[in-house]
Structure 1
Amino acid sequence: MAALAIAPVASPFGITSLIAPAQAAEAAATPPGFGDLVSKVKPAVISVRVKIDQDNDKSAMLQQNRMDSDEDTPFDQFSRQFGFRFPGGANGMPRQRHQMITGEGSGFFISADGYAVTNNHVVDHAQSVQVTMDDGTTYTAKVVGTDPKTDLALIKVDGKKDFPFVKFSDQKPRIGDWVVAVGNPFGLGGTVTAGIVSASGRDIGNGPYDDFIQIDAPINKGNSGGPAFDMNGNVIGVNTAIFSPSGGSVGIGFDIPASTAKLVVAQLKDKGAVTRGWLGVQVQPVTSDIADSLGLREARGAIVDNPQDGSPAAKAGIEAGDVITAVNGTPIKDSRDLARTIAGLAPGTSVKLDVFRKGGSKTMTLALGELPNERQAKGNAEEGRGQPGAGTPRLGLSLAPAGDVQGAGQNGVVVTDVDPQGPAAERGIRTGDVILNVGGKAVSNAGEVRSELAQAKSSGKRSVLLQVRSAEATRFVAVPLA
């Protein structure tokens, strides 16, 4: 880009002559404009307008309450760009029953017979959907299917067979590639902005399958569901969210990749919903401390906190503490990578998992189940307190057998006191947590904990892996050995 070019400087060593050709080549590579591209793709982009009955839709009321609030929540910081307009509320006017919330977003046709893509949060709970084309023509649309997990939706306009449409790109965009966004920011349909691909693989805390493309082409409220194009006029992503301390664009936008959108949209068109493979494990990333405590050469893969009873993983013999390092021979980077990989496979698919267990590797084969619509792995431990047991100064904990503490169950040892300056406190272990095993060995009293700590230290490990059950979940915690 011209802004990055090194200005020619007179030099006795002839540096100017070396820089000038590079600048000329860069100028030649810079497109003279986006006019031809925009004229080709813009007719396929639509503005989407919805109406939601706030009285009959609890979700709409929750959305309204959030939008009326002055609080800046993490969700707001990564807020979806959907411009709801509310009668009353924030301005002090009373809300009336049976009023309709109106909202605007964007979308784009992907077929001549009227199928169009937008965001789930644009059409979620909508009583009516209208789309407006670039020439001002308005049509009524119906929702074919939605996928909240990826925030994608497929809508359909009936009655015509010659809508202009665009295609998804088959190529993954490179960081630094040009990108053109078209959409309906603030109700200004047909707005075109340009920028570059800033990053890929972004996790913004939106869901388990986050894999966003980051772009710096300005997008704002109302751009949600609109396309981002490459220089060939193919869709590389669906505009979905921005990071904005101010509420407007600061050049940090997030797009659902075309590779994800293609798979989801195909299922929505075929059956109106998305089915995903299900392994049935609660997992977490492998940190360097966890890798060291387990004897793994590198911090990669996903460590199993807890296989769910009756799940495909449990039936195949997957155990807590196993590290899943590959699926069908493809290495797994972390827990998000595992979630996306498994979800991308159809229920019933036979998969081979490479598993690291107690210093060795093994391959396990199982058939995936179907991911339920709503499933949350929760710990079933209740916090309990008792008299301090034997001290464990290496971790900064006081422990008591779980069986001696009401509500703690029969397995493990209960944390009855925590030294706030100790290594365990630094890793988030709290009073009431139950330590189930240390270094892969089940423990039932403080003496067994001390024994396993001593063995880990004598073997040269810098940290030890604890399986800890709390009120929220069962997890693994790597604690440094003092």
Structure 2
Amino acid sequence: MTRPIQWALLGLILFAFSLPVSARMLPDFVPLAEEHSPAVVNISTTREREGGQTGGHPDFEGSPFEDLFERFFGAPPGGGRGEGGEGRMPERSSLGSGFIYTEDGYIITANHVVEGASEVVVHLSDRRVFDAEVIGKDPQSDVALLKIDADDLPTLELGSSDELKVGEWVLAIGSPFGFDHSVTAGIVSAKGRNLPTENYVPFIQTDVAINPGNSGGPLLNLDGKVVGINAQIYSRTGGFMGLSFAVPIEMVEDVVMQLREHGEVTRGWLGVLIQEVTRDLADSFGMDKPAGALVARVQSDSPAEKAGFETGDVILRFNGIDVPNSSALPPIVGRTPVGTEAEVEIRRGEETKTITVEIERLPDDVAAERGGRQPEQEERAEPQSLLGMHLEPLDAAQAEELGLDGGLVVTEVTGNPARSSGIRPGDVIVQFGRHSVDSLEELEEQIEDAGTGRTVPVLIQRDGNPTFIALRIPSE
């Protein structure tokens, strides 16, 4: 090799290493977009709206972007109201995304894209338009399956969200604000995210730019395989703020299979209300570190009650699968086939034990039991002060209304440790440690038995919901 060529090669190597890391490592998204965009579809729906409701796309009704939607797609005559400004509103169009699952026309999208629609129309990348049949919907996972009458369609291959790594590049294709086949990219920010309004979906969190109209579209890895469907954003403005959430494709695939075969989705049901194990609660239970799902209530006539679960149990493993936190348990149970006998490892007091439970079908109308407002009493006993709070016994009428066997009502929080533990007036103390609380005398004895300087798990009922808190008994 001649000296000029050697110097030239050396110069190229030095130039390559002088580039920023981001320039050397950034993937090429062009082949992904060109190859997989044809299998992504635009979905438009038509809904009838009652008077007084806002129109447009369900993702941004009432948001700052509603006016933008009106500019692009037009407002209904008369400012959006029917004759006389009242009654049933004219039908309105909304937009979403989806992708072709099979060559013969099955299409996956988000449930909220087609929920309540009187008409669903699918627009393909080659400009063909089809009326779609809704095969099935599952609101709990926000997945819907459509069918159009077509053959030899381009499809997307399903990948694995389980194999996704935080920091991995992902790509979204969809129709934000009706701009079809828009491509955005980002990274996986987190996995297994539990959102306040969702119980059964361990969302994939990304920083991919997702906006109204992207819902139902695919989230692709760098191999071009679908790892999730874009479902939600977290926003204080109505637009993208760097927090997007996708339904993992393993859950999507399970839901789609059930919708194709049965037209509905069945889920496993354990029958417990759970909460997170905080560091203080872990200390109160004698655990080395926070882990598992803490049982705050065992629902009546549930599989858990039949199997012998108790309030205060901490679920650590379910059928051999670790339960690192409370949000991990519902999806695990939900995927368990109905009728399966599951081995559940729990911590109860100082012991670890295994309970066998037969999983039943999740009832359609499962809802949290909520207590009503406490009735005013003409005569009340003088409240007594313990651990920085005034307490009085729960009378029979209050107990019946709240669905409790007994307890003590917190009438006032006067100091610590109650205040620092988060106890509020109106809370009902139901259990102290692993013992029920039926009278002030019992609670005093339980406090004395617990000893000073210890952290004790205390079960309270607040607004009808059971919650454990960690309360530290002061040292004398």
Please indicate the TM-score interval, normalised by the length of the shorter structure: 0.7 to 0.9
Listed one character per residue, the Cα deviations across residues 161-195 of structure 1 (whole Å, up to 9, x for unaligned) are 21110011135222222222111111111112222
User: Which position in structure 2 is the counterpart of 1:39?
Assistant: 34
- 1:348 corresponds in structure 2 to 339
Q: Which moved more, 1:318-327 or 1:244-253?
A: 244-253
Are residues 282 and 242 of structure 1, via their aligned partners in 2, closer, same or farther at CA, if it must alter by over 3 Å? Answer: same
Deviation, 1:381, is 6.3
2:388 counterpart of 1:392: no
CA contact (8 A) 1:408 1:414 kept: no
Find the aligned partners of 1:265 and 1:427 in 2 and give their Cα distance.
45
For the structure 1 residues 65 and 145, does the alpha-carbon distance in structure 2 shift closer, same or farther, using more than 3 Å as the test? closer
Partners in 1 of 2:74 and 2:287 — Cα distance?
A: 53
2: distance between equivalents of 1:324 and 1:481?
A: 26
Cα deviation per residue 1:54-87 (whole Å; 9 max; x = unaligned)? Answer: 249x9x8799999664799xxx9xxxxxx99763
Which of 57, 63, 76 does residue 87 from structure 1 map onto? 76
Moved more, 85-94 or 369-378: 85-94
SS class of match (1:338): helix
Match of 2:364, SS state, is: coil
Matched, 1:162 2:157: no
Task: Report the residue type matching 1:261 in the other structure.
Answer: V
Question: Is 1:416–1:432's contact at 8 Å kept on the other side of the alignment?
Answer: yes
Distance 1:167 1:180, change over 3 A: same
Deviation at 1:207, TM superposition (A): 0.5
Q: 1:233 offset after TM fit, Å?
A: 1.0
Please tell me whether the aligned partners of residues 59 and 212 of structure 2 are also in contact (alpha carbons under 8 angstroms): no
Give yes or no for the alignment of 1:254 onto 2:252: no
Indicate if the aligned counterparts of 1:383 and 1:470 stay in contact, CA closer than 8 A. no
Q: Which amino acid aligns with 2:37?
A: K
Aligned twin of 1:5:
none
Q: Is the 8 A contact 2:203 2:247 kept in 1?
A: yes
Alpha-carbon distance in 1 for matches of 2:184, 2:172:
5
1:291-440 aligned at under 5 Å gives the runs 291-380=282-371, 383-384=374-375, 387-389=380-382, 391-394=384-387, 396-403=388-395, 406-409=397-400, 411-440=405-434
1:453 matched to 2:442: no
Task: Give the letter for the 1:87 counterpart.
Answer: P
- Per the alignment, residue 52 of structure 1 pairs with 47
State the 1:430 CA deviation.
3.7
> Given the alignment of the two structures, is residue 232 of structure 1 paired with residue 236 of structure 2, yes or no?
no
SS in structure 2 of the partner of residue 408 of structure 1: helix
Residues 7-45 of structure 1 show CA distances to partners (whole Å, capped at 9, x for unaligned) of xxxxxxxxxx999759598755433x3222222111100
Query: Structure 2 vs 1, CA of residues 154 and 84 (structure 1 numbering), >3 Å: closer, same or farther?
Result: farther
Task: Identify which range, 256-265 or 196-205, moves more after superposition.
Answer: 196-205
Give deviations 1:345-384, integer Å, cap 9, x for gaps.
1111110011111211111101101001221121446525
Q: Unaligned stretches of 5+ in structure 2? A: 1-12, 67-71
Asked if the contact 1:392–1:450 (Cα under 8 Å) also holds between the matched residues in 2, the reply is: no
3-state SS of 2:232 partner = strand
Does residue 205 (structure 1) correspond to residue 192 (structure 2)? The answer is no
Looking at structure 2, the residues matched to 275 and 100 of structure 1 have their Cα atoms a distance apart, in angstroms, of: 33
Distance 1:213 1:478 in 2: 31
Aligned pairs (5 A) from 1:64-75: 69=62
SS at match of 2:442: helix
Task: Give, in whole Å, the separation in 1 of the partners of 2:158 and 2:50.
Answer: 38
| Partner deviation per Cα, 1:313-335 (whole Å, 9 max, x = no partner) | 00111111111111112221122
Q: Quick one: which amino acid aligns to residue 479 of structure 1?
A: L
1:481 corresponding residue in structure 2: 473
Letter paired with 2:457: L
Q: Which amino acid aligns with 1:161?
A: D
Pairwise CA RMSD: 3.2
Name the aligned partner's letter for residue 300 of structure 1.
A
Partner of 2:69: none
Q: Is the partner of 1:351 in helix, strand or coil?
A: strand
TM-score by length of 1: 0.84
- Say whether the 8 Å CA contact 1:412–1:434 is kept in structure 2: no
For 1:408-452, what per-residue CA distance to the aligned partner results, in whole angstroms no more than 9, with x for missing partners?
358433225222543324444344433222111122211211121
> Any idea what SS the aligned residue of 1:131 has?
strand
Cα separation, 2, equivalents of 1:358 and 1:62 = 54
Distance verdict in 2 for CA 1:90–1:448, change over 3 Å: farther
Q: Secondary structure at the match of 1:116?
A: strand
Gap change, CA 1:61 and 1:472, over 3 Å in 2: farther
Out of 220-229 and 60-69, give the one that drifted further.
60-69
My pick for the range that moved more, 316-325 or 289-298, is 289-298
Confirm or deny: 8 A CA contact 2:81 2:90 kept in the other structure. no
Does the C-alpha gap of structure 1 residues 19 and 327 become closer, same or farther in structure 2, counting only changes over 3 Å? farther
SS state of the match for residue 296, structure 2?
strand
**Residue identity in the other structure for 2:357:** L
Q: State how many pairs are aligned.
A: 449
**CA contact under 8 A between 1:185 and 1:223: conserved in structure 2?**
yes
State the one-letter code of the partner of 2:352: S
Instruction: Give the share of equivalent positions with the same residue, in percent.
Output: 35
Cα distance change, pair 319–162 in 1 and its aligned pair in 2 (3 A): same
Deviation at 1:304, TM superposition (A): 1.2
Is 2:58–2:94's contact at 8 Å kept on the other side of the alignment? no
